[in-house]
Amino acid sequence: MPKTVRRQLAASALAAALLVALVSACGGDDDSDAAGAGDATTTTAAADAAAGATTTTAAGATTTAAEEPADEGVPDPCALIAGPDLAALVGSDPGVGTPSAYDPEQRKICSYASGMILAVEISENYETAIDIIRDETGEDSVSEVSGVGNAAVWQDVGGGVGQFIAQGDDYFVGVTLPAGGPEVGQAVAEAMLAAL
């Protein structure tokens, strides 16, 4: 099997494990309208403009800036790092980010065409999420990283594939990478924490 196919398969498996870990960390959404919750998190440029936001398009990247309402839950990870800055951190254009939220009061996720996933979740769930990841992938795959946020870990899947998770005061961030390794994951996590 070619090396790139193995990496893509590993990245897909890692993305699935991250989603399971993040969803499991706090349980499901008890809201009776949970089936339509994903629809409410997707916005369009027209909707943003109607809400008073400004949309700027440049060289394949679209950035929308607006004041967030006071009670929107967890910040949108797709909006934390501008497209060109994110591309510089990961070494290539990750593609368009697609936001989703299983429980917008506790976590939001941004999936990119490249296979990269950014996540933001309330800080109180950090230890539970790390415990689930260790249970799912083994203790040896997770290593503590010092000097980033309040706590941080790198989960190594091999070949530069893995996820970097860092806890801030109010939120923790997750960076799932199909390539690049812990240095890239740490750089993106630090930029996300700084943006929060």
In the block, residue with structure tokens 């494990």: 17
> Phi and psi at residue 182, in whole multiples of 5°?
-65, -30
Low-confidence winner among 5-19, 34-48, 156-170 (lowest mean pLDDT): 34-48
Residue 85: is its pLDDT beyond 50?
yes
pLDDT value at residue 101: 84
**Domain spans in the chain, listed from the N-terminal domain onward:** 3-27+74-195
More confident residue, 116 or 37: 116
**Contact call for residues 31 and 41 (beta carbons, < 8 A):** no
Q: Which CATH number fits domain 3-27+74-195: 2.60.40, 3.30.1490, 3.40.1000, 3.40.50?
A: 3.40.1000
pTM: 0.68
DSSP letters spanning the chain: --HHHHHHHHHHHHHHHHHHHHHHHH-----TTGGGHHHHH---HHHHHHTT-EEEEETTEEEEE-PPPTT--SPPGGGTS-HHHHHHHHTS----EEEEEEETTTEEEEEETTS-EEEEEEGGGHHHHHHHHHHHH-GGGEEE-SSSSSEEEEEEEETTEEEEEEE-SSEEEEEEESSSHHHHHHHHHHHHHHH-
- What tens digit of pLDDT does each residue of 23-80 get? 344 444 333 333 333 333 333 333 333 334 444 444 444 444 444 444 568 999 999 9
Structure confidence by residue, pLDDT tens digits, 136-145: 999 899 999 9
Q: How confident is the model at residue 176 (pLDDT cuts 50, 70, 90)?
A: very high
pLDDT greater than 50 at residue 100: yes
